[in-house]
Amino acid sequence: MKTLLVVQHSMTGGTRQMAEAAAAGARAHGDVQLRLLHAADAGPADVLAADGYLFATPENLASMSGQMKDFFDRCYYAALDRLNGRPYVCLICAGSDGSGAARQLERIATGWRLKQVAPTLIVCTHAQTPEAILAPKRIASDELRRCEELGAALAAGLAAGIF
């Protein structure tokens, strides 16, 4: 059975909701073992043991979150040249744009020689004031459905050996 590793970090709950929706979609497939880990709890052994990846982060100051960056810092060299060709997708919860975090994640995945199997899914919350940025987020059901579909598609591709 293939293993899908979902690594997420969320400060205000939006990214966590997105990652959980994607995980639910993957679980519904049934033929893939799912591991949903907070970025602080995921390490090189988790990365090496997985067959595919879903990375979920908020965009903070046009970058991925510090916790997500820490995950990659701790795992990057231990996994370098050992993941070549494995599939991945990204989820980003952003206040306005998300492209900076997407670019960072995609560059790291390129260094790991992972294969991006779907475009990065960015959900924009339109949070623009300090109060709105720091407030707990509630992701709309249609956006969560998109996350769920992405997780299901990744799991189906892994299980079928397409990726």
**pLDDT one-digit tens code per residue, 62-118:** 999 999 999 999 999 999 999 999 999 999 999 999 999 999 999 999 999 999 999
- Domain boundaries, given as residue ranges, for the chain: 2-160
C-alpha separations of 45 from 2, 39, 93, 129 in Å:
15, 13, 27, 39
pLDDT digits (tens, 9 = 90+) for 14-58: 999 999 999 999 999 779 999 999 999 999 999 999 999 999 999
Given a cut of 80, is residue 120 above it in pLDDT?
Answer: yes
- pLDDT of amino acid 71: 98
User: Is CATH 2.60.40.10 the right assignment for the domain spanning 2-160?
Assistant: no
- pLDDT of amino acid 93: 98
C-alpha separations of 127 from 26, 29, 94, 95 in Å:
29, 34, 8, 5
Query: What pTM value is reported for the model?
Result: 0.97
- pLDDT of amino acid 36: 98
pLDDT digits (tens, 9 = 90+) for 65-76: 999 999 999 999
- The strand pairing partners of 58, in sequence order, are 93
- pLDDT of amino acid 30: 76
CB 152 within 8 A of CB 29: yes
Distance separating alpha carbons of residues 147 and 53, to the nearest angstrom: 14
Helix (H), strand (E) at residue 17: helix 14-29
Helix (H), strand (E) at residue 6: strand 2-8
